[in-house]
Amino acid sequence: MELGIKGKRALVTGGSYGIGRAIALALANEGCRVAICARGQQRLDVTLADIHAKGVESLAIAADATQPEDIRRVVDAVARAWGGVDILVNNVGGAGGRDTRPVEEVPEAQWLETYNLNALAATRFTTQVIPHMRRANWGRVVSIVSVQGKEGGGRPWYTMAKSAEIALMKTLALNHDLARAGITFNSVASGRVLAEGNDWDQFRREDPKRFEETLKQRLPLGRCGTPEEVAAVVAFVCSASASYLNGACIAVDGGESYSF
């Protein structure tokens, strides 16, 4: 399917590995110019080369998305290189690892850090790209959230932060000026995605039997998703064809979640 976004200027936060890398490559496949940011230079370089190999312009910027000045630097660098940003994928996020403490013992710092990494990073990136999108009279903002942020459950500090991201996308989607400037805001709610080195991969390596049993018991498809399965949906949400999709939160979870 032709997605109609050839030449668009895309920024994928946390694009060096995991789901973000798959999204960056999916957008490059569609002919977008793709910028990625993350903290680690080595993996940025690998993904930068893989994007470049697809024949599109690419940029990689080392930055920490928990730092507002880094976010400004990233958006400025993309705008300087390409004159603006048409597509933003707010992919950076996470729950800060597994935590088995009773909720009342989880320090406030954990809640604040998780909120900063997920909801505030998405807010900062989004508000900084909007002026560019207004100028272009076109834009796509997609936040990568989780099914728990959509329907509850999981670690409350993470679920709360992801719900806030969904609320941000939905509320901006309701803004008439932005909608009429051709800018859409949506969320893609991922289920459990297995990628090398992530929490699920660690669980699989530590206790393969229990990992398989858990998947068989809890997931309709009996397996985790892949980064590419999430990325394919994100690429469509970023497409020209998705122009009437605004304020949606789409679950890509193999049927795991219970909400309609």
Ligand X SMILES: NC(=O)c1ccc[n+]([C@@H]2O[C@H](COP(=O)([O-])OP(=O)(O)OC[C@H]3O[C@@H](n4cnc5c(N)ncnc54)[C@H](OP(=O)(O)O)[C@@H]3O)[C@@H](O)[C@H]2O)c1
Question: Hey, which residues are catalytic here?
Answer: 158
Which span sits near ligand X by CB under 6 A: 32-40, 172-180, 208-216, 237-245? 32-40
Residue 204 sits in the site that holds ligand X (CB under 6 A):
no
Minimum distance of ligand X from residue 49's CB (angstroms): 15
Per-residue contact string for residues 48-77; x = within reach of ligand X by CB under 6 A: ---------------xxxx-----------
Closest approach of Cβ 43 to ligand X, in Å?
6
Choice from 128, 187, 198, 239 touching ligand X (CB under 6 A): 198
Task: List C-alpha distances in Å: 103 to 71, 111, 119, 150, 151.
Answer: 31, 11, 20, 20, 19
* Choice from 26, 193, 215, 238 touching ligand X (CB under 6 A): 193
Site for ligand X in 111-150 (CB under 6 A): 117, 144, 146
Q: Which is nearer to ligand X, 57 or 113 (CB)?
A: 113
Which positions lie near ligand X, rule CB under 6 A? 14-20, 38-40, 43, 63-66, 91-94, 117, 144, 146, 190, 192-193, 195, 198, 200
